[in-house]
């Protein structure tokens, strides 16, 4: 075919006529779930595709084979099923082709920019181009801006949740495309719609709305899709809340008290409505960030699994018997979490016991997790206090995986103790929490705010000494935080009001979390709880919890202790104890005479089943070992 014979809009470029197997993967996962594995594999075999090729979604299939497979898929789920991939977009087995993309993007629009700039990663038969801004304002036939152009270059007022994506066939795909009838081309168009519509689901957002303006199946020279999605950070909730509150309250007050009272009431209500709206927007952005982070890690894990590059640390017990850095002989695994493994180890020269935390799987290759491990080690080595777990070394394994060496602790976490005993007695808990307060005091004096104080991060040694763990989430008050966009900034049940809305954290932020922790430990219940994260963040702003003595009058908690804990839970920073040192002194002033040391002797609460050894939270039981036997 000569250049004169090229169809309008075709791109002259070499390459094979192939498509990523990911084009089929989400649909086959759905069919496997609904119809069984035999049905999905039968589709591939009848299309002449080896099922193992699609099992690895990063493989390639020919256009003709993909057409045969899509025709069979449509017979099962319908053409509309191609346009709407649903939750299968973020299925762990479908994320292997998104590894590179999810390392670089931060918001939904970045995925469309990436798709346009890196079309070759998904198809060898066509190219995507992107136009940002209001599609209605772009004249038909205008040249699309470069895919990697910055939004500022295209107009500062361009909305960030609408793009026009144009798909053009490549020259070497034309001969094959001419053999496709309209119905076959329609299937490929629908599959592209499904890909474009499903990308916002990576953030937990609903499918994007896709308007198909031009279509190859209808004889056009390209396919053009206008894509619009709902981004949580672009909704004017604060303005709407302010206006609605001002109008309703102003009208009500005006009727009752005159126009002046109505104006003042409207202004006040508007301010409150705007604040509530901003909190709502913040909570939606936070939820999206959490979902994105979960899918990013899943994609990294999937990519490593497909390439067979999972590190030795990803296999429990794989390091046992090895010597790290020529100094530490690895023993058995004593704990694990979502991002790493903790091993018992011994210094080969000095003979003393240590614990070694090793990043594993995707986290071992992720710069953010490595930076957090370095920060945790740096902070804990500089906070020299008997109530803070000591860090002894930080190094890399031969494959580049990071590990940190820490003092070996014997005992159990406070979370484990509470899971077994439900509550702790004040005679035992007050001295314990004085030690925790002193650990916070030492950290705050170094300008460090922990930001994630919770029962899982308080370790109780066999002698009863508490140790505060996991400063990886902490923030230096005198420096910028290493926390990246989208990373969890705390555990919502223990977050202070200012932390819930993303304001600056201060030492009193830790004191609020400490108050939640003590309330839970002494009563067996959280002071504020909700199954809904958004509501939980809102309740921390406004709900005043019941005093402990009202919540659990059967436990005989001392009034002085109740006052200290409730002071820690004040909404205003200025109303809480001014420092961890002051809090420690307040706890130390509570008389211990006559206070119960252990409720189990009187069988006040049945012991629920023990918590499992592993956790999905991503926080490691850093020094975990088997708890001592129950008396």
- Can you say whether the dihedral through the CA atoms of 615, 621, 625, 631 is positive or negative? negative
Catalytic site positions = 452
Query: Which three-class secondary structure state does DSSP give residue 8?
Result: coil
DSSP 8-state secondary structure symbol assigned to residue 127: E
Strand order in the sheet with 353-359: 323-324, 328-336, 340-347, 353-359, 402-407, 391-396
Which residues, 6+ apart, have CB-to-CB distance to 135 below 8 Å? 162, 164, 213, 226
Q: Which residues make beta-bridge pairs with 356?
A: 343, 405
- Can you say whether the dihedral through the CA atoms of 33, 38, 42, 45 is positive or negative? positive
Under a CB-based contact definition with an 8 Å cutoff, are residues 225 and 170 in contact? no
Under a CB-based contact definition with an 8 Å cutoff, are residues 343 and 319 in contact? yes
Q: How many helices (H) and strands (E) does the chain have?
A: 20, 17
Query: Distance between CA 392 and CA 362 in Å, rounded?
Result: 25
Query: Distance between CA 177 and CA 184 in Å, rounded?
Result: 10
Identify the CA nearest to 544 among candidates 563, 529, 528, 531.
528
DSSP, residue by residue, 206-229: PPPEEEEEE-GGGT-SSEEEEEE-
Under a CB-based contact definition with an 8 Å cutoff, are residues 170 and 7 in contact? no
Q: Is 239 exposed, middle or buried (0-12, 13-18, 19+ CB in 10 A)?
A: middle
Query: Which three-class secondary structure state does DSSP give residue 388?
Result: strand
Total Cβ atoms within 10 A of residue 503: 13
Which residues, 6+ apart, have CB-to-CB distance to 392 below 8 Å? 354, 381, 405, 406, 407
Identify the CA nearest to 515 among candidates 599, 443, 428, 436.
436
Under a CB-based contact definition with an 8 Å cutoff, are residues 388 and 439 in contact? yes
Segment holding 402, helix H or strand E:
strand 402-407
Q: Is 221 exposed, middle or buried (0-12, 13-18, 19+ CB in 10 A)?
A: middle
Under a CB-based contact definition with an 8 Å cutoff, are residues 133 and 154 in contact? yes
Query: Which three-class secondary structure state does DSSP give residue 331?
Result: strand
Report residue 548 CA to chain centroid gap: 33
Under a CB-based contact definition with an 8 Å cutoff, are residues 102 and 202 in contact? yes
């Amino acid at each position: 075919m000569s250049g004169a014979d090229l169809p309008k809009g075709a791109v002259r470029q070499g390459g094979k006529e192939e498509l990523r197997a990911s084009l089929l993967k989400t649909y086959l996962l759905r069919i496997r779930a609904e119809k069984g594995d035999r049905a999905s594999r039968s589709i591939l075999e009848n299309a002449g595709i080896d099922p193992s090729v699609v099992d690895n979604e990063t493989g390639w299939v020919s256009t003709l084979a993909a057409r045969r497979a899509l025709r069979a898929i449509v017979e099962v789920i319908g053409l509309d099923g191609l346009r709407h991939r649903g939750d299968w977009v973020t299925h762990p087995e479908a994320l292997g082709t998104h590894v590179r993309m999810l390392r670089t993007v931060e918001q939904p629009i970045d995925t469309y920019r990436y798709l346009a700039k890196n079309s070759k990663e998904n198809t060898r038969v066509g190219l995507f181009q992107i136009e940002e801004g209001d599609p209605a304002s772009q004249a038909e036939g205008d040249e699309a801006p470069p895919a990697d152009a910055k939004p500022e270059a295209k107009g500062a007022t361009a909305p960030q949740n609408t793009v026009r994506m144009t798909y053009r066939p490549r020259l070497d795909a034309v001969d094959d495309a001419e053999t496709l009838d309209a119905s076959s081309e329609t299937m490929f168009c629908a599959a592209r719609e499904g890909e474009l519509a499903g990308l916002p689901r990576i953030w937990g957002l609903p499918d994007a709305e896709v308007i198909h303006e031009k279509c190859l199946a209808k004889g056009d020279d390209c396919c053009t899709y206008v894509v619009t999605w709902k981004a949580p950070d672009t909704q004017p909730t604060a303005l709407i809340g302010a206006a609605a509150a001002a109008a309703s309250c102003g009208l009500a007050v005006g009727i009752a008290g005159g126009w002046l009272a109505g104006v003042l009431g409207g202004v006040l209500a508007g301010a409150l409505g705007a604040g509530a709206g901003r909190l709502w927007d913040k909570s939606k952005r936070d939820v999206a960030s959490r979902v994105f982070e979960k899918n990013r890690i899943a994609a990294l894990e999937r990519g490593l699994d497909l390439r067979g590059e999972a590190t030795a640390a990803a296999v429990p017990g794989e390091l046992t018997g090895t010597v790290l850095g020529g100094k530490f002989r690895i023993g058995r695994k004593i704990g694990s979490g979502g991002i790493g493994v903790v091993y018992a180890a011994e210094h080969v020269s000095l003979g003393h016991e240590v614990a070694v935390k090793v990043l594993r799987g995707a986290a071992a290759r992720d710069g953010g997790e490595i930076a957090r491990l370095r920060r945790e080690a740096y902070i804990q080595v500089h906070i020299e206090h008997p109530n803070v777990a000591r860090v002894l070394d930080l190094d890399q394994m031969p494959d580049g995986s990071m590990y940190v060496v820490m003092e070996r602790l014997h005992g159990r976490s406070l979370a484990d103790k509470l899971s077994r005993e439900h509550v702790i007695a004040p005679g035992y808990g007050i001295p314990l929490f004085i030690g925790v307060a002193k650990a916070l005091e030492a950290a705050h004096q170094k300008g460090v705010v922990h930001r994630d104080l919770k029962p899982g991060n308080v370790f109780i040694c066999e002698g009863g000494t508490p140790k505060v763990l996991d400063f990886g989430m902490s923030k230096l008050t005198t420096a910028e935080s290493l926390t990246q966009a989208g990373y969890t900034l705390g555990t919502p049940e223990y977050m202070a009001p200012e932390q819930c809305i993303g304001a600056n954290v201060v030492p009193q932020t830790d004191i609020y979390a400490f108050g939640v922790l003590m309330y839970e430990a002494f009563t067996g219940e959280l002071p504020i709880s909700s199954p809904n994260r958004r509501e939980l963040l809102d309740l921390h702003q406004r709900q005043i919890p019941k005093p402990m003595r009202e919540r659990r009058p059967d436990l005989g908690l001392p009034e002085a202790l109740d006052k200290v804990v409730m002071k820690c839970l004040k909404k205003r920073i200025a109303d809480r104890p001014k420092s961890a040192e002051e809090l420690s002194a307040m706890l130390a002033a509570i008389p211990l005479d006559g206070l119960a040391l252990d409720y189990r002797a009187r069988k006040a609460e049945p012991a629920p089943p023990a918590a499992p050894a592993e956790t999905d939270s991503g926080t490691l039981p850093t020094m975990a070992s088997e708890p001592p036997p129950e008396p």
